[in-house]
Structure 1
Amino acid sequence: MGNPLPFWSWKIWFSSFFFGFSLLCILVSGFSGHIPLEISSLKMLVSLDLSASPLVAPIQLRRANLEKLVKNLTNLEELYLGGIDISVADWGPILSILFNLRILSLPDCHIAGPIHSSLSKLQLLTHLNLDGNDLSSEVPDFLTNFSSLQYLHLSSCGLYGRVPEKIFLMPSLCFLDVSGNSNLTGSLPEFPPSSQLKVIKLSGTRFSGKLPDSINNLAFLEDLGLSGCSFFGSIPSSFGNLTELINIDFSRNNFSGSLPSFASSNKVLDLRNNSLQGIIPKSLYTKQSIESLLLGQNKFHGQLEKFQNASSLSLREMDFSQNKLQGLVPESIFQIKGLNVLRLSSNNFSGFITLEMFKDLRELGTLELSENNFSFNVSGSNSNMFPKIGTLKLSSCKITEFPNFLRNQTNLFHLDLSNNRIKGEIPNWTWNVGDGKLVHLNLSHNMLEAFEKPGPNLTSTFLAVLDLHSNMLQGSFPIPPASIIFLDYSENKFTTNIPYNIGNYINYAVFFSLASNNLSGGIPLSLCNAFDLQVLDLSDNHLTGSIPSCLVSSNILKVLKLRNNEFLGTVPQSNNYDGSIKDTQTANAFALLQIIDISSNNFSDGTGMVIGITLGVVVSNEIIKKRGKVHRSISSGHALRRNL
């Protein structure tokens, strides 16, 4: 028996056999190889789907082949080429011969802009999808002439300029997505009562202005995404009348004022990172329909009210973090059985928290209670506590011991116990928390003194962030795993030399600090192998010898702090510096370094004079991530601030 026909071959054969039928469709999505141009002979074809799978190599369709494919398909009503590499400059004129086309779907096809005006010939279009291409052009006015257009997908296309307001007023349009175009501007128009819009997605653009009161006219609106724009002012009270509205995302804008009432249909309400204020009404977090209530990073104040029937709520996510809320957290919150995310960090909540309060939250994957006035009693050995927890942030919770329930966690990947009152040894089981999944561990600002013997073997872990700074740890510090990106051992009592091969373990690290310990010896040359290192702080130790020249000439290192050690000799040469120190204005001496502090050492300028210098060269508003926080240099020459 011969080889079977390829999938697309028997599809074409089948279609050809029934050539006399008035309706012909070909669905060959997800195939690989070459597009069969024999398809072009099927003159009665009305629907063609050749969308490529993202799991296979891109399929190319060059200009000549695109012309051949469509030249005879004048009855085509639906064309899906998503993921096919077209890369044809005049794709618009080529496709404009398909006068009967109703659906044109070309997402991620590598097509370039601008959107050619020849597409205006396709007056029957109801769906146009150009998502994920590099159109690099303005939104053309002629799009507003498509009287039948219902769905317009233009997300992440490199569009710029101002969106014509008439786009929002197209009589049949129900879906508009221009999100992910960071240079696109515009504002919302006055909406007419006849609007058919159901979905508006503007997130990640530069749209601005106030929300018009006429938004009340969008009676069919289901999804409104304005995240990461520049809208301001209050949220209109008319939002309560939008009874079909399910998803609202206004995060990362400049909205202010108090919360209006929202319709009972809302499932997702994301208002994070605005300037909203006032009381959070109980009616909002007891709404039966609400699944995600995200109000973090605002200015809400007051207390959360007690409520009943918590177990019947649909809430999956609750984020009230970084506000000014105070008082006790209603115990009914801990009875919302389906809750997956609970973020209450950085408020003024108070009260006594026990593990028993969380016994009903079996679905909890994220718990953040940091930076409040809680007293969290973690005593107890309930091995079934938090069976699905992945992120646990309990900083500043007055915890006095390592929570024993952590020993049995198998999904934990982010653990923050910083700024507590934990004393004594770090138990060895800590490094096995999460069953190998732990990537972020912060134990800083406690009273830890040692590692349980025989000491940790971190090289077998997958930690990317390890912060042990501001404790009282002694002896040798543990060698980090090769996965480490952020490593802070500063402000402890570590002694001995820095291991000669330390640089081989921090190949991917961007931050490494051993400052304020009792280390001696020299700087290992292996640090030259830390090719991604941006911040190196070895200050306030007893290090001797010279500075490796690789640190001075690094093209990556931005911050080098070596102050208050016992280094000798001259400052090593870089591309722009000859090794002598003539004044404190040699800001260009150290390659791309933006902050360097080598004060309080024993460097000499060659004449026998012992000198200490501090050079601070910082681009204004340069952001440097340190210890999980962001440090912002106010102006050139300022030292790196701590913001713990």
Structure 2
Amino acid sequence: MMCSCCERKVMIWSLCFIFCLSNSILVFASPDKHLCRPDQRDALWEFKREFYVKGFHSNGVAADKKTKRWTNNTDCCSWDGISCDPKTGNIVELDLLSSSLNGPLRSNSSLFRLQHLQSLDLGYNNLSGILPDSIGNLKYLRVLNLGGCHFHGKIPSSLGNLSYLTGLDLSINDFNGELPDSMDNLNQLTELRLGSTKLSGNFPSMLLNLSELTLIDLASNQFEGMLPSNMSRLSKLESFSVAGNSFYGSFPSSLFMIPSLFYLSLGSNDFSGTLEIGNISSPSTLGFLSLVENNFNGPIPRSISKLVGLFYLDLALWNTERSIVDFSIFLQLKSLTFLDLSYINTRSMVDLSLFSHFDSLGYLDLSGINLKISSSLHLLPHIGILTLSSCNIVEFPKFLKTKTSLSYLDISANQIEGQVPEWLWRLPMLRYANISQNFFSGFEGSADIIQRSQIVLIDISSNRFQDPLPLLPNSTKFFLGSSNGFSGKIPRTICELRFLDTLILSNNNFNGSIPRCFEKFNTKLSVLHLRNNSLSGIFPEESISDHLRSLDVGSNQLSGELPKSLINCTRLEFLNVDDNKIKDTFPFWLRLLPNLEVLVLRSNEFHGPISSPGVSLSFPKLRIFDISDNRFIGVLPLDYFAGWGAMSSVLDTVDRMPSRFEGRDSGNYRNSVSMTAKGLKMELVGSGFTIYKTIDVSGNRFEGDIPVSISFLKELIVLNMSNNAFTGRIPPSLANLSNLQSLDLSQNGLSGEIPPELGKLTFLAWMNFSYNNLEGPIPQGTQIQSQNISSFAENLGLCGAPLQKTCGGKEEEATEQEEDEEKEEKDQVLSWIAAAIGYVPGVFCGLIIGHIFSSYKHDWFMRIFHYLT
């Protein structure tokens, strides 16, 4: 009986447990039960619809894969990038990093209805526009990432409302002005990332009040002035970067006194004087120190040896004022894995064996230092990157033969002769080899020795190689062989390099035609430079890869037309075909290339007009336009230059800090182009393209007026319209070209005066108005008056300095005319006076005579009357 009762109880409890369990399962499995609150879900859904999504990631996956999986009838807490508070259902985290959202973040965006957000990450979306003040309404935010979103304008002061904020990332945007003072309220902030945001002003002093800061990144901005001396107030600071600004003065040694500081980057500023590291008593935790590209001078401080925790040290371009450097001060830094002492301006000769104590060193750059290298040297067992450029090395360093971990070698600009050793190409990890600017004449070993390597970049330019081009491995991505003595035809084996990105063969003796293969076999070629050879034949369409960014085939003997397959090269930035025999009309279709910056068609047989009715020739990024010495004709429309944006305003082409390392991963080539400026031939190389903005249409047959739209190009530096048939007057609006340095309008048919407004162009150092029909006085102004007399020659009507012909001729003529008129007036007055003087007695005499005559006449008449009667 008792047993039966127990069994009954167990059964009842079992049934209850099963019922409760099943009920729980039904509750949690019910499709109508959602954790996400409906108002939160609706706000998210509306937020998604505020933007349009566009593009694909590099791996081919749709760029909107996060928001694409959002479905309106599902639990929003399960959506990608969403996290909710499990107790309240409020959304506390929104992560849409790199989701290709396009459109402005509106001030009334539904985003700001998510009042409980604690983490917001919209980084690397295209949210171009201003950052609205409404961002300050998300008062519970702890982490805010808006880096890389293309915001512009000022940073809103409402950010100061986010008092719980611990992490703020506004880097890589287009903000301007200074940081708002309200950020003084962010007293819980630990990480502040403002790199590459174009901010300006002095160092934001309010940051010294944010005592919880562990990271400050102000790199690549426009800050200036001196850093505060009391930086040690940031007692918890671990990482501090102000590289790429314009800070000047002495660097505050108080930073080195912060015990937690691990990362310190000061490169590319104007800090000067001697560096004071201070009295470091306890072992330093500093691991990263970069002082590159400043104005520090004097000896490298010996106290640097106390920074025993350093693994990264960059002192490149330190000016020791040609003093002797004691390199033994670095021997205490046994943890170094990166050491750059390049171009420190010392007369010391360094024995490379000194660095045998650095067992962990993987990166070493001693460029610009005189080196002594023993043939029996054994050192740097783990070296991966070694740069010994311009070190006066006369023999190939044999110690490299055993460096099996070496992946990058640069021994350029030395005095090494003979042949390149065979063992170099057998180093198993070698991928980048720069042996340019030496006196190498050949390669040891078999012809295919290089082909058996895994080389990615090889730079053998500016040597004395004359043998056929070496056979290159399939892994080759960058090959630079310019300025040698290579001859014959360009080998077709080049076409078989499937990964080839850059091919530089300029300044050799190649002949024959350009290989017809790159379009078919190699679709990744982005740089093709073949200038200054003896290549001939037509410019083949098959030589054009759709990936081309830079094409230079100038100074050859190419003929035919410009290949129209260039229209497919939407990435093309640089096109130079100067000094060939290309016979074609103006390539209007080039206006469809959105990234074109340099167009040089000089010295060919191009002909016809360069404008067409109904065709707007807009080159928004063009910086150099040279079509000189062709046979172009016609009248340029008044609005011809209206759409040339890059010459109209200052446009940034590089958003990162300029670096001496630029080109390390793609070869050391630099685009170059010759141009005429200030009456002289000059060559632009590398950064010159971002500085110079030029137009040269000289040596053609253009006629009519100079287009007034040229005055829109306010950033223009060189303008050459000489040797044409332009007529009419010089537009006074040329005075708007405030950056103009060189102006050549010679050998045309221009008339009228030289506009006086041109005298206000303070940068205009050279000008030429000769061989025109100009007249009148030469304008006053320091720049104009300082020109050579030849700049105004053969204008018969011009006068004034610097010509010897004064402008007095007309004044004398006018004076003489006035004097003649005055004399005539005087003569007339005298005549009238004389007439008046003679008039009175004349009248009196006349009356008397008249009276006598009348009396006589009366008597004579009476006598006749009597006679007749």
Alignment TM class, shorter chain as reference: 0.7 to 0.9
Residue matched to 2:483? 491
1:213-228 equivalence runs, <5 A: 213-228=205-220
Residue matched to 1:101? 90
2:74 is matched with which residue: 68, 75, 80?
68
Whether contact under 8 Å (2:561, 2:582) holds in the other structure is: no
* Structure 1 position 375, deviation (Å): 2.3
Alignment partner of 1:156: what SS? coil
1:75-90 equivalence runs, <5 A: 83=81
Alignment partner of 2:219: what SS? coil
* Structure 1 position 360, deviation (Å): 2.0
Residue matched to 1:420? 414
Alignment partner of 1:387: what SS? coil
Query: In structure 1, what residue type is equivalent to 2:74?
Result: K
1:376-391 equivalence runs, <5 A: 376-382=372-378, 385-391=379-385
1:422-461 equivalence runs, <5 A: 422-433=416-427, 435=428, 437-461=429-453
Alignment partner of 1:302: what SS? coil
Query: In structure 1, what residue type is equivalent to 2:456?
Result: A
Say whether residues 1:173 and 2:165 are aligned partners: yes
Alignment partner of 1:206: what SS? coil
Residue matched to 2:619? none
Whether contact under 8 Å (1:574, 1:590) holds in the other structure is: no
Whether contact under 8 Å (1:470, 1:491) holds in the other structure is: yes
Say whether residues 1:114 and 2:154 are aligned partners: no
* Structure 1 position 314, deviation (Å): 0.6
2:286 is matched with which residue: 276, 290, 302?
290
- TM-score, normalised with respect to structure 1: 0.74
Distance, in Å, in 2 between the alignment partners of 1:285 and 1:585 is: 72
Residue matched to 2:196? 204
Query: In structure 2, what residue type is equivalent to 1:448?
Result: F
Q: Percent identity?
A: 26
* Structure 1 position 110, deviation (Å): 3.2
Residue matched to 1:375? 371
1:281 is matched with which residue: 276, 281, 298?
276
Whether contact under 8 Å (1:448, 1:473) holds in the other structure is: yes
Residue deviations 1:86-142, cap 9 Å, x none? 9xxxxxxxx999976373232437384636554545544443333444544533323
Whether contact under 8 Å (1:515, 1:540) holds in the other structure is: yes
Residue matched to 1:183? 174
Say whether residues 1:266 and 2:261 are aligned partners: yes
Whether contact under 8 Å (1:99, 1:124) holds in the other structure is: no
* Structure 1 position 201, deviation (Å): 0.9
Q: For the structure 1 residues 299 and 458, does the alpha-carbon distance in structure 2 shift closer, same or farther, using more than 3 Å as the test?
A: same
Whether contact under 8 Å (1:364, 1:389) holds in the other structure is: yes
Say whether residues 1:406 and 2:400 are aligned partners: yes
* Structure 2: 5+ residue stretches without partners: 1-19, 38-57, 567-578, 608-627, 631-643, 655-661, 688-869
Q: For the structure 1 residues 443 and 456, does the alpha-carbon distance in structure 2 shift closer, same or farther, using more than 3 Å as the test?
A: farther
Residue matched to 2:296? 300
1:102-181 equivalence runs, <5 A: 103-108=92-97, 110=99, 112=101, 114=105, 117-168=109-160, 170-180=162-172
Q: For the structure 1 residues 256 and 80, does the alpha-carbon distance in structure 2 shift closer, same or farther, using more than 3 Å as the test?
A: farther
Greater Cα offset, 201-210 or 184-193: 184-193
Say whether residues 1:475 and 2:464 are aligned partners: no
Residue matched to 1:349? 346
* Structure 1 position 581, deviation (Å): 9.1
* Structure 1 position 478, deviation (Å): 0.2
Query: In structure 1, what residue type is equivalent to 2:217?
Result: G
* Structure 1 position 449, deviation (Å): 2.0
1:581-600 equivalence runs, <5 A: 588=587, 594=598
Query: In structure 2, what residue type is equivalent to 1:176?
Result: L
Say whether residues 1:628 and 2:624 are aligned partners: no
Alignment partner of 1:216: what SS? helix
Query: In structure 1, what residue type is equivalent to 2:415?
Result: R
Distance, in Å, in 2 between the alignment partners of 1:449 and 1:582 is: 33
Distance, in Å, in 2 between the alignment partners of 1:456 and 1:346 is: 36
Say whether residues 1:335 and 2:327 are aligned partners: no
Which structure has more RCO (C-alpha within 8 Å, separation ≥ 6)?
Answer: 1
Query: In structure 1, what residue type is equivalent to 2:515?
Result: P
1:317 is matched with which residue: 312, 323, 331?
312
Distance, in Å, in 2 between the alignment partners of 1:37 and 1:598 is: 76
- TM-score, normalised with respect to structure 2: 0.56
Residue matched to 2:856? none
Whether contact under 8 Å (1:560, 1:595) holds in the other structure is: no
Distance, in Å, in 1 between the alignment partners of 2:150 and 2:369 is: 46
Q: For the structure 1 residues 166 and 128, does the alpha-carbon distance in structure 2 shift closer, same or farther, using more than 3 Å as the test?
A: same
Whether contact under 8 Å (1:240, 1:260) holds in the other structure is: no
Distance, in Å, in 1 between the alignment partners of 2:156 and 2:204 is: 16
Q: For the structure 1 residues 109 and 81, does the alpha-carbon distance in structure 2 shift closer, same or farther, using more than 3 Å as the test?
A: farther
Distance, in Å, in 1 between the alignment partners of 2:164 and 2:446 is: 71
* Structure 1 position 545, deviation (Å): 4.7
Greater Cα offset, 398-407 or 278-287: 278-287
Residue matched to 2:816? none
Residue matched to 1:359? 356
* Structure 1 position 633, deviation (Å): 5.7
Q: For the structure 1 residues 217 and 562, does the alpha-carbon distance in structure 2 shift closer, same or farther, using more than 3 Å as the test?
A: closer
Alignment partner of 2:75: what SS? helix
* Structure 1 position 554, deviation (Å): 7.2
* Structure 1 position 329, deviation (Å): 4.7
Whether contact under 8 Å (2:674, 2:683) holds in the other structure is: no
Query: In structure 2, what residue type is equivalent to 1:452?
Result: E
* Structure 1 position 229, deviation (Å): 2.2
Q: For the structure 1 residues 527 and 575, does the alpha-carbon distance in structure 2 shift closer, same or farther, using more than 3 Å as the test?
A: closer
Query: In structure 2, what residue type is equivalent to 1:489?
Result: G
Residue deviations 1:377-406, cap 9 Å, x none? 242242xx2232221110011112222222
Distance, in Å, in 2 between the alignment partners of 1:226 and 1:505 is: 43
Whether contact under 8 Å (2:313, 2:340) holds in the other structure is: yes
* Structure 1 position 351, deviation (Å): 1.9
Of Structure 1 and Structure 2, which has the larger fraction of its residues in helix?
A: 2
Alignment partner of 1:460: what SS? coil
**How many residues in Structure 1 have an aligned counterpart in Structure 2?**
569
Whether contact under 8 Å (1:107, 1:130) holds in the other structure is: yes
* Structure 1 position 571, deviation (Å): 4.1
Residue deviations 1:266-317, cap 9 Å, x none? 110111222222222243999712110011122222210224865x711011
Whether contact under 8 Å (1:81, 1:105) holds in the other structure is: no
* Structure 1 position 457, deviation (Å): 3.0
Whether contact under 8 Å (1:80, 1:105) holds in the other structure is: no
Alignment partner of 2:317: what SS? coil
Distance, in Å, in 2 between the alignment partners of 1:309 and 1:321 is: 17
Q: For the structure 1 residues 114 and 40, does the alpha-carbon distance in structure 2 shift closer, same or farther, using more than 3 Å as the test?
A: farther
Alignment partner of 2:175: what SS? strand
* Structure 1 position 339, deviation (Å): 0.5
Residue matched to 1:548? 539
Query: In structure 2, what residue type is equivalent to 1:375?
Result: L
Say whether residues 1:512 and 2:504 are aligned partners: yes
Residue matched to 2:695? none
Greater Cα offset, 422-431 or 503-512: 503-512
* Structure 1: 5+ residue stretches without partners: 1-15, 21-25, 27-35, 45-53, 71-78, 87-94, 606-612
Query: In structure 1, what residue type is equivalent to 2:389?
Result: S
1:633-644 equivalence runs, <5 A: 640-641=683-684
Q: Pairwise CA RMSD of aligned residues?
A: 4.8
Distance, in Å, in 1 between the alignment partners of 2:440 and 2:202 is: 52
Alignment partner of 2:71: what SS? helix
Distance, in Å, in 2 between the alignment partners of 1:186 and 1:98 is: 43
Q: For the structure 1 residues 631 and 147, does the alpha-carbon distance in structure 2 shift closer, same or farther, using more than 3 Å as the test?
A: same
